[in-house]
Amino acid sequence: MVNIVPTILTQDLSQAQTQLQSLLGLVKDVHLDVLDGRFAPNLTFNLKKAAELKLLPKFNLFLHLMVEDALAYLTKNGFFKTGQNVFLPKKTTVIIHREKNPFFKKTLAVLKDKGFKIGIALDTESKVDDVSGSIFAQVDFVLLLMVKAGFSGQKFIPSRLNQVKILDKMRFRNSFKFKIGLDGGIGKDNIRDCVQAGAQVLFVHTSLWQNNKAAQNLKNLKKLIHETRQKPNTFS
């Protein structure tokens, strides 16, 4: 089953809270983008501010950190201090990027030791082959960006679907347990291609929030997925 997960991408806490309110009873999972303005030229509220989102614990959370040196960022924001991350849902997957993270492996190890589900993200310049099999063996989630990290509303890059297929094939052949997620530019014109390529989780922003009709937009996207014949795992 393919899961459509709404994305929260904003500097405005009030807007984020309103969006979360509109999702209550509609979805179980949300995807929160956190940008530091250095990893990519965009900025959202930081983790300390995210603690003010009172509705966040009502959802399962994909916490996507588009930040330079995720370990330093998390430490600076008190993420590992006792009681500082109690605002997070019990089911939280922390996703860090392979790029611009000098302590990539160590960060994953620390997060796993703290009891979080761990995910890795690959920006558009990175390929599946850039990551070692030992990393894929330990993570719970792999996110492939279909647009350059930083901004919503960008045009979907169709050539990235080849990386999705490579990742899906590699996951099947090695019996890895992670789920494959896609993020960026996903909508009615390409969602079927995403599913057929092997995606299991789709983060959506513009196509969900457009015209302030999240419920109807979500229904329409789900219908397209339902009508799509998903590719069976029959790799030789």
Kindly state whether residue 36 falls inside one of the protein's structural domains.
yes
Q: What is the mean pLDDT of residues 4-17?
A: 96
120-151 pLDDT per residue, tens: 999 999 999 999 999 999 999 999 999 999 88
Q: Strand, coil or helix: what is 143? A: strand
Kindly state whether residue 234 falls inside one of the protein's structural domains.
no
Kindly state whether residue 93 falls inside one of the protein's structural domains.
yes
Residue 85 has pLDDT above 90, yes or no: no
How many angstroms separate the Cα of 208 from the Cα of each of 107, 202, 221? Answer: 32, 11, 9
- pLDDT-derived band at 1 (thresholds 50, 70, 90) equals confident
Q: How would you label 41-53 residue by residue, b for 16+ Cβ within 10 Å and e otherwise?
A: ebebbebeebbeb
Kindly state whether residue 24 falls inside one of the protein's structural domains.
yes
pTM flag (> 0.85): yes
Kindly state whether residue 171 falls inside one of the protein's structural domains.
yes
- Domain encompassing residue 223: 3-227
Kindly state whether residue 233 falls inside one of the protein's structural domains.
no
Looking at the chain, the whole-number percentage of residues with pLDDT higher than 90 is 81
Do 30 and 8 contact (CB within 8 A), yes or no? yes
CATH number for the domain spanning 17: value is: 3.20.20.70
Kindly state whether residue 232 falls inside one of the protein's structural domains.
no
Residue 184 has pLDDT above 50, yes or no: yes
Kindly state whether residue 236 falls inside one of the protein's structural domains.
no
Question: How many domains is the chain partitioned into structurally?
Answer: 1
28-66 pLDDT per residue, tens: 999 999 999 999 989 999 888 888 999 999 999 999 999
